[in-house]
Structure 1
Amino acid sequence: MADKGIYRDRDGGLTLGHRQPVAQARKKLNLNFKSIRHGVDRPFLILILTLLGFGVLMMFSASYAWGLNDMGDGYYYARKQLTFAGIGLVGMLVASVWDYHFFQNTWVCYIFYIVMYGVCIYAAFFGSATADASRWIDLGFVQFQPSELLKVAFIMIFAYIMAVNFPKFDHWKYCVIPFTVIMGLTVVVLTLQRHLSAVMIIGVIGVSMMFVSGMPAKTFWKFMGILALVAVIGFVGLTLIGKFSYIQDRITSWRNPEGDIQDSTWQTYNSLLAIGSGGWFGLGFGESKQKFLYLPEAQNDFVFAVICEELGFVGALVVVVLFVLFVLRGFYIAANAKDRFGMLVAAGITIQIGLQAFLNIMVASNAIPNTGISLPFFSYGGTALIIQLAEMGILLNISRQGNIKK
């Protein structure tokens, strides 16, 4: 028989009622799909599928010439991306029905984070390197980028600590210290990988999640002060040992994209040519000129430039609007989540995808220095696409259990 008394609920608060036996609670938490009251958020699902379909189509167009050049097959990258998309959709389906509270467990959250952190350290020292950035592990059939999973682990552990410690947020040692330590460790390993864009994303995700968590303003600004101090000390130290020397070259290229078009500014210069050539309505699907080996990474980091060249300002605007709608609907799901943990996870994932899209578009248009970041759902990459779709499944799962009118 269940005991009656005061116990902690999922958000870490105190509740008067009956405590369920542990085995029964775990069974209900992970396996009782009847507790999922509604279907998924259909507008959000349609939005995901639209982004995925549009993304694969444009990636195919952008990759055709590079496929012929690299592999002797213009359909090479498209076929692989379709395979990754299929695997990702299966992952999205599973994640959409498996209770997201599975991650609201001390052992699951910490083990997930520690394992991915260890794999990222391995990648930093023993992984495959591209342009002096060691971020990948060669599995033979695919290049695995563990930092993509580290972002998910970071969101989960942040959401878990915030949900559990929320009643004690007035005591800074329960929120400022653990968040500073986790963010600091994450930034260090990403810096070792020379993954500056991921450092920026992790920083924004962490700060944004703390802002929406309900943390008292005094505690939040104390965290921001400590974080800023640690960031300055770390940046100065790494600069002195030459770890960030490449950043100055990228800033120089950003400020003058025509300064060295045969070498350091070649990629940015050709990206701007592609964007400018598109005009209002573009040259037509498949008619890009810059993708014919002029624009490096046309199928990856600079796929947006090809979209602008082929579909023009109108096509680029459609992409931007789709991501804006994605962010708005993601925050809507977060606002109507069943509990604090779900709200924070949904907010973190939404911020991650929206920020990546924003930074990629800014890089392609030379609004910020080149940071080597992909466009979600559009850029070629198996690890990123599969994990992004699995994250979409988690958001759909949160929408299933939330208070959203279907």
Structure 2
Amino acid sequence: MENKKISSQYPSRSYGNRQQPEKKVKKAESQNIFARSGRAVKKKFRVFSIRAGMDMPFFLLIMVILCIGLVMLFSASYANAYYVYGDSYYFIKDQALFMVLGIIIMILVSYFDYHHLHKFAMPILGVSFLLLVVVLFQPAINQVHRWVQIGTFSFQASEVTKFAIVLSFAHLISINFKRMDTFRYGILPYLIILVPTLLLLAAEPHISCIAIVVLLAAGMLFIGGVKLRWFVIALSVIVGAILYLVIFTDNFSYANDRILGWLDPFNEQIWQETWQTRNSLYAIGSGGLLGLGLGNSRQKYLYLPEPQNDFIFAIVCEELGLIGALIIIILFALLVWRGISISLKAKDKFGSLLGIGLSAQVGLQVILNIAVVTNTIPNTGISLPFFSYGGTSLVILLAQMGVVLSISRTSMIEKG
């Protein structure tokens, strides 16, 4: 009787007299559904149209922020570019080129069915680990190992790491969603990923990336439904380990001066260490409500070191004032909100988690960057998305935004 019930339940999946186990049947059915869905999406994607299925508000927000960022980068960088390279357009030419390349990649990625990222999640994580190891053997820049140099081309390995963490967590949480309340499926796999990642980042050292990775991981696990007890224990252990590394190891000795500088940026005994923070505060203060006007910053004339990088928001405040800075913050907030809204409309948990993670990454970087520039937290060296100079990081970021647009396209197609 039992065999008859099984065969009647799955008549098309019998192999002679042996019946396929129920678990394998369900897996095969889910793969079939995915294949049919993939074929449908692929068929729809054959018609190339930039607007077809794309979330235009999200796309337009990216373009507006990019344009403002490019203008502010030129304004912030031309004095330093002329002084260092003898060419006022040195930084803007590079950034504009990578921006165009990034936009093209973003649009192309938006046509890639994000479901296929499932099978690339673990390989990308493996590449991320490899890059974090390789970067330790690269020459140190300002006492840290963060850049992978390939000929004249260089990039930060941590940019790949952030994407790899979001992707791998979305992959694992989505396939183990119903078992996230157990230690084996809700905590253990993520600790296996996080512990070596954080140790490698600590070896660089890279405090800001450690903070972003931990916050992203914690947020995704919380959304994924991990049991609160395991969540609190794991988070406490990780935060405790990070604090131990920062306080008691030589690798983070420079962080002690930064913490002292954060507590008292006008302390004459650490004048050199707080130079950047002090001039950032001078720039913000001199901007006032309406700013000095576009291009009229004084601090960018070799007072604020490398104003085109992590402290570009200080120049934004100086030239555009509090009003201009608030408008840019609102644009970022709208971008993150729209990205999360797109993600919540995804037809599967993987798409929702992936989109939320990528959108949250932008929001976290903006918050941490502004907090550093305003001396709300110690200087950790974190860039402002779409604004700070950095071609490869901009391309990677735009590719990630392309994934969010892919979620919007695919969701629209699956909806019918």
Which of 89, 95, 98 is the matching residue for 1:75?
A: 89
SS of corresponding position for 2:140: strand
Match of 1:365?
374
CA distance in 1 between counterparts of 2:39 and 2:208 reads 39
CA distance in 2 between counterparts of 1:350 and 1:168 reads 25
Quick check: 2:245–2:252 contact (8 Å CA) kept in 1? no
CA distance in 2 between counterparts of 1:186 and 1:169 reads 22
Residue 133 of structure 1 and its aligned partner are, at CA, apart by: 1.1
Residue 262 of structure 1 and its aligned partner are, at CA, apart by: 4.2
Match of 1:64?
78
The farther-off stretch of 29-38 and 43-52 is 29-38
Which of 236, 244, 265 is the matching residue for 2:252?
A: 244
Map 1:187-202 onto structure 2 (within 5 A).
Answer: 187-202=198-213
Residue 19 of structure 1 and its aligned partner are, at CA, apart by: 6.0
CA distance in 2 between counterparts of 1:313 and 1:238 reads 34
State the Cα deviation string for residues 246-274 of structure 1 (Å, max 9, x = none): 22111100111111374111000000000
Quick check: 2:246–2:255 contact (8 Å CA) kept in 1? no
Structure with more helix by fraction = 2
Map 1:105-254 onto structure 2 (within 5 A).
Answer: 105=119, 108-123=120-135, 125-213=136-224, 215-216=225-226, 219-233=227-241, 235-236=243-244, 239-254=247-262
Which of 95, 107, 112 is the matching residue for 1:98?
A: 112
SS of corresponding position for 2:102: helix
State the Cα deviation string for residues 344-363 of structure 1 (Å, max 9, x = none): 00010011110000110111
CA distance in 2 between counterparts of 1:296 and 1:381 reads 16
The structure whose Rg is larger is: 2
Change (3 A) 1:180 1:278: same
Residue 160 of structure 1 and its aligned partner are, at CA, apart by: 0.3
Residue 238 of structure 1 and its aligned partner are, at CA, apart by: 6.1
CA distance in 2 between counterparts of 1:152 and 1:144 reads 14
SS of corresponding position for 2:145: strand
CA distance in 2 between counterparts of 1:293 and 1:363 reads 20
CA distance in 1 between counterparts of 2:206 and 2:112 reads 32
CA distance in 1 between counterparts of 2:40 and 2:310 reads 40
Which of 48, 65, 74 is the matching residue for 1:51?
A: 65
SS of corresponding position for 1:257: coil
The farther-off stretch of 72-81 and 315-324 is 315-324
Quick check: 2:292–2:321 contact (8 Å CA) kept in 1? yes
The farther-off stretch of 125-134 and 13-22 is 13-22
Residue 226 of structure 1 and its aligned partner are, at CA, apart by: 2.3
Quick check: 2:78–2:89 contact (8 Å CA) kept in 1? yes
CA distance in 2 between counterparts of 1:188 and 1:400 reads 37
Amino acid across the alignment from 1:98: F
Quick check: 1:30–1:98 contact (8 Å CA) kept in 2? no
Quick check: 2:222–2:231 contact (8 Å CA) kept in 1? no
SS of corresponding position for 1:129: coil
Unaligned ranges ≥5, structure 2: 1-10, 14-19
CA distance in 2 between counterparts of 1:194 and 1:3 reads 57
Map 1:279-318 onto structure 2 (within 5 A).
Answer: 279-318=288-327
Change (3 A) 1:175 1:312: same
CA distance in 2 between counterparts of 1:60 and 1:8 reads 58
The farther-off stretch of 334-343 and 241-250 is 241-250
State the Cα deviation string for residues 319-378 of structure 1 (Å, max 9, x = none): 111111112111111111121000000010011110000110111111111010000000
SS of corresponding position for 1:134: coil
SS of corresponding position for 2:127: helix
Number of aligned pairs? 395
Quick check: 1:30–1:101 contact (8 Å CA) kept in 2? no
**Root-mean-square deviation (Å):** 2.8
Amino acid across the alignment from 1:141: T
Quick check: 2:41–2:410 contact (8 Å CA) kept in 1? no
Quick check: 1:3–1:18 contact (8 Å CA) kept in 2? no
SS of corresponding position for 1:144: strand
Quick check: 1:142–1:382 contact (8 Å CA) kept in 2? no
Residue 151 of structure 1 and its aligned partner are, at CA, apart by: 0.8
1:396 aligns with 2:405: yes
The farther-off stretch of 142-151 and 50-59 is 142-151
